[in-house]
């Protein structure tokens, strides 16, 4: 998993990309959680329903766009951390096996500044 760019200003966007080690044979739903000081709905919105993203059959990646909200409040930089959660049909790191795809780097951190 990665995020690009790693730092944005309010009113800008960044993309989290979830990457499997090989193309998935069927649609694979990957669960994730958001944490950090930035709050969903107050500091940012996401391009998909929060909590899960699907890597489509035959693909190795899925992307979620984070749009930072311009709130007009002067504040310190805030982080939005996406962390992949355990689930069916995928694993993290080694030991994937034939039916379980390995998802790389289970978290990525974005910094949002004024």
Q: Please classify residue 106 by burial: count the beta carbons closer than 10 Å to its beta carbon, then call 0-12 exposed, 13-18 middle and 19+ buried.
A: middle
- Beta strands 44-46 and 61-68 are antiparallel
CATH number at 91 reads 2.60.40.2030
- Which residues does 105 contact at the CB level (< 8 Å), separation at least 6? 1, 2, 19
When divided into structural domains, the chain yields a total of 1
Task: Specify the pTM.
Answer: 0.87
Q: CB neighbours (10 Å) of residue 38?
A: 21
What range defines the domain where residue 82 resides? 2-113
Strand ranges, E, within the chain: 2-4, 7-9, 13-19, 28-35, 44-46, 52-55, 61-68, 78-84, 90-92, 101-103, 107-113
Q: What is the pLDDT along the chain (114 residues), one digit of tens a residue?
A: 899 999 999 999 999 999 888 899 999 999 999 999 999 999 999 999 889 999 999 999 999 999 999 988 888 999 999 999 988 877 776 544 555 566 666 899 999 998
């Amino acid at each position: 998993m990665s995020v690009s760019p790693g730092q944005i200003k309010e009113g800008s966007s960044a993309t989290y990309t979830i990457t499997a080690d090989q193309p998935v044979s069927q649609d694979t739903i990957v669960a994730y959680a958001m944490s950090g000081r930035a709050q969903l709905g107050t500091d940012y919105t996401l391009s998909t329903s929060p909590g899960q993203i699907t890597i489509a059959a035959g693909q190795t990646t899925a992307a979620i766009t984070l749009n930072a909200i311009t709130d007009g409040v002067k504040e310190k930089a805030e982080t939005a951390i996406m962390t992949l959660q355990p689930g069916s049909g995928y694993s993290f790191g080694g030991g994937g096996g034939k039916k379980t795809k390995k998802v790389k780097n289970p978290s990525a951190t974005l910094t949002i500044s004024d």
